[in-house]
Amino acid sequence: MAHFRSYIWDPVLIVSQIVLMQCIYYSFLGLWLAGVDGLVQTSRSLNQIFSYEILGFATMQGRLSMMAFILNSLPCALGLWFFIRRGKQCLDFTVTVHFFHMIGCWIYNSHLPASLAWWLVNVASMALMAVIGEYLCMRTELMAIPVNTGPKSNL
């Protein structure tokens, strides 16, 4: 018996989607941070992405970097909409992207991030990405499905 929407366990698809979302995350974060570098006149480095000490309210670069992380949730939410296309899975993929980013920061710094600003920015970014992505996916999922595609007849 055929179901309306069958769910098949496809690990290759899931891993591909995780890799794609990670690429979207770091690509757009790099673009946002390049824009910040242009405003503040600083050199580009991996510290801006992985070092939690850069983020903070004390310096202009720290505030702009925090803004870049927050703004990065918008293209990531669009990535969820275009490539994941399931509202139920938006939170899963969002948490996965940020979890792998935390692991990357942990490896880069040799310890877990200890800055409150880093945690606040990542939780805010996670919330925005999940909510906007789920909103976009749900709008697409709830669109009306035309039942009759033939010409109307006047009876």
Tens of pLDDT along 40-53? Answer: 787 788 888 998 88
In a domain, 52, yes or no: yes
Query: How far apart, in whole angstroms, are the C-alpha atoms of residue 41 and residue 25?
Result: 23
In a domain, 67, yes or no: yes
Cα 121–65–41 angle (5° rounding)? Answer: 175
Query: How far apart, in whole angstroms, are the C-alpha atoms of residue 151 and residue 100?
Result: 52
- Kindly report the pTM of this predicted structure: 0.84
Residues 120-132, mean pLDDT to the nearest whole number: 96
In a domain, 147, yes or no: no
Domain region containing 75:
11-141
- Number of independent structural domains in the chain: 1
Q: For residues 47 and 110, is the Cβ–Cβ distance under 8 A?
A: no
pLDDT at residue 26 tops 80: yes
In a domain, 155, yes or no: no
